[in-house]
Structure 1
Amino acid sequence: MFPDSTGHNDPAESIDRKCKEGDGLFFVAEQDGTVVGMVMAGYDGHRGWIYSLAVAPTQQRRGIGSMLVRHVERMLGELGCPKVNLQVRTRNSSVVAFYHSMGFDCEDRISMGKLLSRSGDDALESPSDTH
């Protein structure tokens, strides 16, 4: 469901890490026992995030994505979340249009990120290792 995922966004690994969190903000849409969509969200007490939303290509434009977004918004609202953010790759104009249709606006922000070492990679030094 994630055709251009980068290595650190490997869907199987991301889903595994999210399920280990146990925060209840991972939802799957099924139809006749087949997964047709999913959404992964989070809330840190300050604002909520929609991290990943995917709908099977054969099931797109049937309201599944909209249903998943509305469900996440309700769940975040029940947690007291005042605002939800998300990020979309700039080249993905159809996804930007989808979120616009759901009431999201583009905000004047710069998205910044930093990859952290993963197990097996160069380990991050802990403060006690720097002496």
Structure 2
Amino acid sequence: MTPRQYTEDDEARVAALWRASFPDYNGYNAPEAVLRAKRLVDEHIYVIEDDGEIIATCMAGYDGHRGWLYSVAVAASRQGEGLGRCMVEFAIERLRDLGCVKVNLQIRGGNEAVVDFYRALGFDTEDRVSMGRPLTR
């Protein structure tokens, strides 16, 4: 299966996968809001579809130097098939095509089980403190 560019028609199916994969996606992280906001900036959202179902996703970002991976998700029933690897490698190639020299990602606390997955893809833990601040209007 080949990753492809996300389209507006994918929104409900991607949102459903993200809700199943990331239970804390709500509020400012509501999938529909994230997808719409991302598309205002660029088109770096990728999916794998099988028989009408979105079974894997990856969203990428690029600041002109470093890239980021976000929302890498694979349907629970399809994990272990190499779809996550496929999505990450596809997104990294798109970033490389833009001139990206390094790709970063963050793993949510409690989801440490994916650390070995990313290590197998060449990622390593870096000594950083991740901080965030939600902005309210």
| Greater Rg over alpha carbons, structure | 1
Matches within 5 A, 1:69-80: 69-80=88-99
Q: Which moved more, 1:53-62 or 1:88-97?
A: 88-97
Instruction: Name 1:65's counterpart in structure 2.
Output: 84
TM-score w.r.t. length of structure 2: 0.80
User: What residue ranges of structure 2 are gaps of 5+ in the alignment?
Assistant: 1-16
1:4 to 24, 30, 33: 24
* Alpha-carbon RMSD: 1.3
Higher relative contact order (CA 8 A, sep 6+): 2
TM-score w.r.t. length of structure 1: 0.83
Query: CA-to-partner distance for each residue in 1:33-88, whole Å, 9 max, x for gaps?
Result: 21101111100102000021111111111111100000011000000000000000
Matched residue type, 1:96: V
Pairwise CA distance, 1:101: 1.3
Report percent identity of matched pairs. Answer: 48
Matches within 5 A, 1:17-56: 17-21=37-41, 23-56=42-75
Q: Which has the higher helix share?
A: 2
User: What residue ranges of structure 1 are gaps of 5+ in the alignment?
Assistant: 118-122, 124-131
Q: Which runs of 4+ in 1 moved over 6 A?
A: none
